[in-house]
Structure 1
Amino acid sequence: MRNPYSEIFRAPGTKGFATAAFIARLPIAMAPIGIVAMLSQTHGEYWLAGAVSATYALVNAVLSPQVSRLVDRLGQSRIAVPTTLISVLSFATLIVVANQHWPVWTLFLSALLAAAMPSIPALVRARWTEIFRNRPELNTAFAFESAADELVYVTGASLSVGLSAALFPEAGMVVSTLLLALGSAAFLLQRSTEPPVRPAEHGANASAIHLRPVQIITFSLIFVGATFATTEVTTVAITKALGQPEAASLVIGVYALGSFVLGIIVGALSLKTPLQRQLAIAVAVIALTTLPLLFADTVPTLALAVFVSGVAISPTFITAFGLIERHVPPAMLTEGVTWVTTGIGIGMALGSFAAGWMVDAFGPQSGFWVSVASGAIALATVLAGQCRLTTDECDVGRGEAVMAAE
């Protein structure tokens, strides 16, 4: 039996940029929870830790599509190099600010500037698309990247929390910043696989967010992202309350382990179920599996509940990116893909803040109520948008009319 994943890596340069991209995007998982772990120890207040983390994630979610639009127009190296440099320097400043207990406003300013970090998942998917455009291997490549995202989440979040708990509060953020600098440099130096700048097509001057399918997917993933952040913050709080703070690293790692394995399997299969239905099923599983989290009051039961709640994450990503590739014009692909990660980033920002407030106000366990509510809203959004995600006929709406007019 042929391995579809080995096929995609036969193309020249794919192994190199895929490896570098994996390292460069580890900070996506490490930075938000690393900020929480760092500030909760240096300042002792979860609301502050959650608010600073939310500032970084929310601003990054807002800036990323704009950065990606510039990438589509001017090229990856020309835009990603300066924005990455700004992000690395700002993260370094944040670490110093936290360690030296400078005024609180400097924490927020550093986090805001660090949010200039470009979307590595979008950049790497644009390279895969350039290589396998209109070929079946592209779906396998997208599945691989979704599984890689999950592996990033498994290793990144748990590594960040583990380093902060075992060494010193800033350890997770120090490693995250180094990986961002080294991984991004290795990725951007591989110019042979960088997509060429394409001339603007008819209607390409508008934003991809004007497309109704992009709106539906982005909005639903805001609430999917909220479940991620809520699980991270609440897990850190519960394990600390149980007197086992070091267990947070293991529990957070388990969260995405099942999803990683399932994502690899799904990517190797040729499923006949329409993508929009696959998305609805995956989000339904996410919503339903938030309920057991409310009853996890020991580390073993917490790990089990978190593991179950994470199994549908990768399938959700695979189908979401597949739908984006189907509905977004090629000249706007980087931005379109970025809106998916933007939705997740916004959700993580809001979820981190909401969970931190719930933990401070009502106790560690109460943070999971944010997950339950978020899962329900995400499912309702995907179900309501099934028609828009199904056929081109259903795509005709005000957003598409604007695109056509331009």
Structure 2
Amino acid sequence: MTLTDHPPTAQPRATYRAVLASPHVVRLLVGTLIGRLPNGMAPVAIVLSITSTGGSLAFAGLLSALYSLASALSQPVKGRLMDRYGQTRVSGTAVILNSSSLLLLAEAATAGHAAFATAVVAVAGLCTPPLEAGLRALWPAVLRDPGQRRIALSLDTGTQGLLYIVGPLVVTALSAAHGPGLALVATAVLGLLGTVIVLTAAPSRVWRPAADPGREKDGRLLSPALLMLYVALAGTGCAIGAMNVWSVAMAASHRLELLSGALPAAFSTGSFLGGLLYGRRVWPGSMLAQLRVGAACFLTGWLPLLALPGPPTAIAAVAVPGLFLTVVISCAFLTVDSLAPPSRATEACAWLILSVGVGQAAGTALGGALSTRPLASAALPAAAAAASLTALACARLRLTPAGVAARSPGRHRRPRARPAHR
């Protein structure tokens, strides 16, 4: 039995049509995507808002980085709170504070108060609603069949990269047409709208983590197996961050500004297509085997960059590792779902999100340091992917199905029609 297997029961067919036709699935996916669109909008909107009122680009970049860093570092705390108090109270409070802070930022930027603007951005980042971790914790309650959960995760993960393409484009268009102030307002409104769509759905309203006393006597979440998995996914994030900087270096080297956006767009498109292909059929092997194969293919996909290809070849080449990114992320979340204590499901997902984010920041920093060395810059994504695969190989004994008990299918409460059943 693999980590994600359940006792044999009659299960609905695992197809895209069956998943999308299941109650609440489309609403949760659409709401989460709308609510997470500000993740790609806010950093750009902050830069445009500060610079349009006379602030320096250096200060604007610092505030943009502060927003992203505060959002990432606060994920486990928000996940832990959500596991204790439910999604409505935590995400609802967070989105109100986040949206209010973004609206205040327009006033702070106009007034030229640097300290106030910094405080507002910090609050906005800390209070980004944890929709991604919350959705990953909801899937076992919404879709009882492991095959259907895999498809839902593929859709969710595959579309994530597109948010960071669409978001900046929306902000740029709004700023050009109506000014940066409207871009900040749109960012705040979209975050609020998406969160409301999710939180008013029945699965989110009634969701509670299930207790599992047999696995939580010591209250530990970060087991050695989970720690190794998080380290591995930090390597995956590092490859993504390094790729983004390499794209800018490629654009400068070839004097073609379009490359700085075209290369990440090709990577994200590959991720989206890879998610669709991965969810389309049942693949052989356990979830852990699929994770290792996906990580190996992710590494292999970066190797053509070592030949320092020209722009057309580079755009095609970066789509290849993108094809396997969704496989790695989806399998990682399903593995976390099996390893984590049931009453700390959201926090466990949040730590995985943080691991990828920290790795991405490290990859960005390393990529910047190596940007003047073309071969080293092109090799960094492959080196990070190799580190990720090595971590998974070292964790193999701890992550085998024999070493971890399969989770009970009754982990989450199903949504009920009557409040008395909550």
Q: Same fold (TM over 0.5)?
A: yes
Give the total of aligned pairs.
Answer: 386
Contact 1:153 1:256 in 2 (8 A): yes
Within 5 Å, which residues of 2 pair with 1:309-324? 309-324=321-336
Shift in CA distance, 3/74, structure 1 to aligned 2, threshold 3 Å: closer
Per-residue displacement from partner, 1:169-220 (whole Å, max 9, x unpaired)?
9587665444222211221122455343356442548666422222121111
Q: Does 1:81 align with 2:92?
A: yes
Higher mean C-alpha displacement, 64-73 vs 280-289:
280-289
Within 5 Å, which residues of 2 pair with 1:27-42? 27-31=38-42
Query: What SS is found at the alignment partner of 2:312?
Result: helix
Corresponding position of 1:5 = 16
Larger Rg over CA atoms: 2
- Which of 329, 345, 348 pairs up with 1:336? 348
Q: Does 1:144 align with 2:147?
A: no
Within 5 Å, which residues of 2 pair with 1:23-172? 23-31=34-42, 43-44=56-57, 49=61, 52-92=63-103, 103=114, 106-107=117-118, 110-111=121-122, 113-132=124-143, 135-136=144-145, 138-154=146-162, 156-163=163-170, 168=176
Runs of at least 5 residues in structure 2 that lack an aligned partner in the other structure = 1-12, 406-422
TM score, norm. by length of structure 2: 0.77
Contact 1:57 1:346 in 2 (8 A): no
Contact 2:155 2:275 in 1 (8 A): yes
Letter in 2 for 1:250: A
Corresponding position of 2:410 = none
Provide the rounded CA distance (Å) in 2 between the counterparts of 1:204 and 1:369.
42
Higher mean C-alpha displacement, 4-13 vs 203-212:
203-212
- Which of 393, 398, 405 pairs up with 1:388? 398
- Which of 232, 239, 246 pairs up with 1:227? 239
Report the alpha carbon displacement of residue 380 of structure 1 after superposing the two structures with TM. Answer: 0.9
Contact 1:70 1:79 in 2 (8 A): yes
Provide the rounded CA distance (Å) in 2 between the counterparts of 1:91 and 1:351.
28
Provide the rounded CA distance (Å) in 2 between the counterparts of 1:172 and 1:366.
37
Shift in CA distance, 383/30, structure 1 to aligned 2, threshold 3 Å: farther
Runs of at least 5 residues in structure 1 that lack an aligned partner in the other structure = 396-406
Letter in 2 for 1:293: L
Provide the rounded CA distance (Å) in 1 between the counterparts of 2:88 and 2:320.
40
Query: What SS is found at the alignment partner of 1:272?
Result: coil
Contact 2:138 2:207 in 1 (8 A): no
Report the alpha carbon displacement of residue 267 of structure 1 after superposing the two structures with TM. Answer: 1.8
Report the alpha carbon displacement of residue 378 of structure 1 after superposing the two structures with TM. Answer: 0.9
Report the alpha carbon displacement of residue 65 of structure 1 after superposing the two structures with TM. Answer: 1.5
Provide the rounded CA distance (Å) in 2 between the counterparts of 1:34 and 1:149.
24
Contact 1:160 1:173 in 2 (8 A): no
TM score, norm. by length of structure 1: 0.80
Percent identity at matched positions? 22
Corresponding position of 1:212 = 224
Provide the rounded CA distance (Å) in 2 between the counterparts of 1:52 and 1:365.
31
Contact 1:37 1:161 in 2 (8 A): no
Shift in CA distance, 127/165, structure 1 to aligned 2, threshold 3 Å: closer
